[in-house]
């Protein structure tokens, strides 16, 4: 009887360890990466955000301090009144499949120029970090005095009759933004990128279209 008991104890230990080895922990859906080789030897990958449907609205804050909400953007003002803003979007690949999340922060930098950071999180691949100087004022709080604060893309004054703006204006060569780092499959990548807004402003003070991030890696920054 004692042998049976100890045998069953051993079997129980082995079964538990085996169960832990084969337990299906959560995994991430992986879409095929769409990467093009460009003529100078670098690699190009395009990411896109559908405006406005890919904006992510967060749950209200129950505990802790909350930033000011301006539409889907969160805003915090410094002691001198200058704002910083953050927006979060679903991130799509070149075939418009949702592959991750993207955050975009904007604030005036010390030298008075306005800059933005993009953090792209593709759960199955890793994170990619981008930084740029802006060609246009894209902060949500920077609308004209008599208009309600909101995203720059929803202001007809922003567009000046155009349907497309290249937002990136440096600091890398050619007025491109810089890829500043990455993790997972994006670790060690160096390169540059452009952010372009392709939107159709409409009469209702809204807009629709795409924000396109074209990244190029394996090229000098």
Partner 1 sequence: MKRKLVALLGLLLGVALGITLLMLNPISLSQAAPAGLSGAVRVLDWHSGGGFRGMAMTPGALLGWSGNAAAFADPALRHARVEIVVLDDDAGGESVLGVRLSAVATQDSLLQARLGVTTAWNLVWPGRGSVMLAGSENAWPVLRDGLWAFVRGHGFRPGQDLYSLPPLPGAGAPALVSGSGSFEGLRGSFREDFQPLDSRPGDLIGSRQLNLATE
Task: Tell me, residue by residue from 142 to 181, as one string, x for binding to partner 1 by CB under 8 A and - for no binding.
Answer: --------------------------------------xx
By the rule CB under 8 A, 123 interacts with partner 1: yes
By the rule CB under 8 A, 188 interacts with partner 1: no
Asked if residues 127 and 119 have their Cβ atoms less than 8 Å apart, the reply is yes
Report the Cα 214 to chain-centroid distance in Å. Answer: 13
Sorted by sequence, the CB contacts under 8 Å of residue 185 that are 6+ apart come out as 125, 126
Q: Which of 203, 86, 116 is nearest to 154 (CA)?
A: 203
Q: What region, left, alpha or beta, does residue 190 occupy, with left being phi > 0 and alpha being psi -120 to 50 degrees? A: beta
By the rule CB under 8 A, 135 interacts with partner 1: no
Residue 101: CB minimum distance to partner 1, A: 5
Residues between 5 and 24 that touch partner 1 (CB under 8 A)? 5-17, 20-21, 23-24
By the rule CB under 8 A, 28 interacts with partner 1: yes
Of these, 115, 151, 170, 201, which contacts partner 1 (CB under 8 A)?
A: 115
Residues between 88 and 107 that touch partner 1 (CB under 8 A)? 88, 90, 97-101, 103, 105, 107
DSSP character at residue 152: G
* Residue closer to partner 1, measured from CB, 13 or 37: 13
DSSP character at residue 161: T
- The phi and psi torsions of 3 (rounded to 5 degrees) equal -65, -40
By the rule CB under 8 A, 27 interacts with partner 1: yes
């Amino acid at each position: 009887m004692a042998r049976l008991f100890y045998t069953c104890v051993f079997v129980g230990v082995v079964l538990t360890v085996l169960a832990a080895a084969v337990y299906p922990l959560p995994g991430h859906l992986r879409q095929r990466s769409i990467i093009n080789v460009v003529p100078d030897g670098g690699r190009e990958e395009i990411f896109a955000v559908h405006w406005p449907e890919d904006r992510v609205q967060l749950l209200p804050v129950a505990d802790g301090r909350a930033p000011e909400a301006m539409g889907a953007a969160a805003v915090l003002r410094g002691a001198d009144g200058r704002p910083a803003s953050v927006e979060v979007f679903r991130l799509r690949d070149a075939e418009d499949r949702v592959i991750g999340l993207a955050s975009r922060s904007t604030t005036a930098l010390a030298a008075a120029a306005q800059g933005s950071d993009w953090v792209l999180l593709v759960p199955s691949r890793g994170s990619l970090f981008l930084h740029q100087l802006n060609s246009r004022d894209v902060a949500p709080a920077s609308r004209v005095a008599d208009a309600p604060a909101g995203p720059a893309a929803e202001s007809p004054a922003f567009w000046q009759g155009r349907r497309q703006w290249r937002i990136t204006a440096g600091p890398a060569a050619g007025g491109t933004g810089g890829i500043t780092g990455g993790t997972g499959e994006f670790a060690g990548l160096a390169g540059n990128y452009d952010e372009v807004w392709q939107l159709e402003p409409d009469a209702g003070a809204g807009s629709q279209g795409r924000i396109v991030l074209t990244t190029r890696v394996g090229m000098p920054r």
